[in-house]
Amino acid sequence: MIAGCPFCLAVGCPPATGQRGAVKAARSISPAPGSDETRSGSDRSLRYDPGTMSDELPALGDWHDTRRSLHAWSKVLSAVRGALTEPDPRWWHLSLRVTADGLGTGPLTTPAGELEARLDLRDHRLRLDGGDGTGASLPLPEAPAARRLGGWLLTRLAARGVEIETERAKWDDDGARSYDAAAATRYHRAAHLTARVLSSLRDGLGGERGPVQLWAHHFDISFELFGSRKAEWEGKQQQAQIGFGFFPGDDDAPEAYFYGTPWPFEDRLMETPLPASAAWQKEPWEGARLSYAAAVDGGSDLLSAFFRAVHEAGRTVLD
């Protein structure tokens, strides 16, 4: 079970499993003249600046194809992070981070020093940046298949002396991808504001909390608050928890929404109040739901009120 994931809690979907891949140190290779490896100013991606974006959620519009592309590409970054990070029992080694300019692995410690891979949704490039200030990039508007994007990233890692083994089947495909830069920018605004709201909520809570992270398996952004209570899930004892997150939609459920998932879920929660436009539900997963469209109209104040209401109601299941 992915902690906090409403889809895992609903149907027991398998997490994006993966063991830490073998990492081999190779000879460091300097950038070739005329290559796309440059001094890239990587500190822009390694620092989260909460003051760079609007407090208004944008309408996402018709972004189905771009969403599918970003989802597929995020699986590549997740696989790379998983291969370069020690396994975590809650699968946090596979999660990504929302950055000031896109989605990224966060800084990774490698035999070649600190590296970070990210989808830059401002300049619309896949970037691999080093802590030494060097970097390489690939334009996203070329709409590469995930296979090409992944192959490019693994090649650039190898050129820096880092060769990894990862399960390409998790992201490998032959299809070209459609990418609309304006749609990607709108999504990033939504993701960035969501991460800010979730970070503010998280920082104000006590107890054990997970990081605000993006899960490549369902492309949702969330964090979890854990309690001391234990309950059984698929034959194993798990910590009680509340997940707070944002799901941008997929092929089966195209409408984006925000969610709160107290677990273990108790029917009495259905009677506790939520802000207007939000509601508790038991199918297809148990928890509270606020449509993205309603949050666009209500702004970040409504979104914050929704998450606070879920916490107020759900904290009773934690201990």
**303 and 213 in a common domain:** yes
Rounded Cα–Cα distance for residues 73 and 71 (Å): 6
Rounded Cα–Cα distance for residues 278 and 13 (Å): 25
For the chain, give the mean pLDDT.
Answer: 84
Is residue 3 domain-resident? no
Is residue 211 domain-resident? yes
Is residue 6 domain-resident? no
| pLDDT surpassing 80 at residue 30 | no
**106 and 197 in a common domain:** no
3-state secondary structure of 4: coil
Q: How far, CA to CA in Å, does 161 sit from each of 50, 137, 182, 233?
A: 34, 17, 35, 42
**148 and 209 in a common domain:** no
Q: Place 40 in a pLDDT band, splitting at 50, 70 and 90.
A: very low
**152 and 188 in a common domain:** no
- Sorted by sequence, the CB contacts under 8 Å of residue 213 that are 6+ apart come out as 92, 95, 96, 97, 221, 222, 223
**293 and 219 in a common domain:** yes
Is residue 259 domain-resident? yes
Top mean-pLDDT range of 1-15, 37-51, 54-68, 257-271: 257-271
Q: Place 166 in a pLDDT band, splitting at 50, 70 and 90.
A: confident
Rounded Cα–Cα distance for residues 173 and 152 (Å): 14
- Sorted by sequence, the CB contacts under 8 Å of residue 215 that are 6+ apart come out as 2, 5, 16, 94, 95, 96, 221, 222
**126 and 186 in a common domain:** no
Last residue of a domain, one of 138, 170, 202: 170
Answer whether 146's CB lies under 8 Å from 171's CB: yes
pLDDT at 11: 39
Q: What is the mean pLDDT of residues 105-132?
A: 94
**225 and 141 in a common domain:** no
Is residue 188 domain-resident? yes
Last residue of a domain, one of 120, 140, 170: 170
pLDDT at 176: 73
Range of the domain at 36: 22-42+58-170
**297 and 162 in a common domain:** no
**Bridge partners (DSSP) listed for residue 23:** 164
Is residue 32 domain-resident? yes
Per DSSP, the residues of 104-125 read E---EEETTEEEEEEEETTTTE
Unique residue bearing structure tokens 């334009």: 139
Is residue 48 domain-resident? no
Answer whether 81's CB lies under 8 Å from 119's CB: no
Last residue of a domain, one of 116, 145, 170: 170
Torsion over CA of 74, 255, 259 and 102, rounded to 10 degrees?
30
Length of the chain counted residue by residue: 319
**166 and 142 in a common domain:** yes
CB atoms within 10 A of CB 18: 18
How wide is the angle at C-alpha 274 spanned by C-alphas 270 and 277, nearest 5°?
110
Q: What's the pLDDT tens digit per position in 239-283?
A: 999 999 999 999 899 999 999 999 999 999 999 999 999 999 999
Q: What's the pLDDT tens digit per position in 121-131?
A: 999 999 999 99
**290 and 186 in a common domain:** yes
Q: Does 14 or 110 have the greater pLDDT score?
A: 110
Q: What is the mean pLDDT of residues 218-233?
A: 95
Q: Does 21 or 279 have the greater pLDDT score?
A: 279
Per the structure, the count of domains in the chain is 2
Is residue 196 domain-resident? yes
**305 and 166 in a common domain:** no
| pLDDT surpassing 50 at residue 39 | no
Top mean-pLDDT range of 167-171, 206-210, 257-261: 257-261
| Phi then psi dihedrals of residue 171, to 5 deg | -140, 0
In the chain, the N- to C-terminal Cα span, in Å, equals 20
Q: What percent of the chain has pLDDT over 70?
A: 82
CB atoms within 10 A of CB 55: 10
**28 and 160 in a common domain:** yes
pLDDT at 34: 30
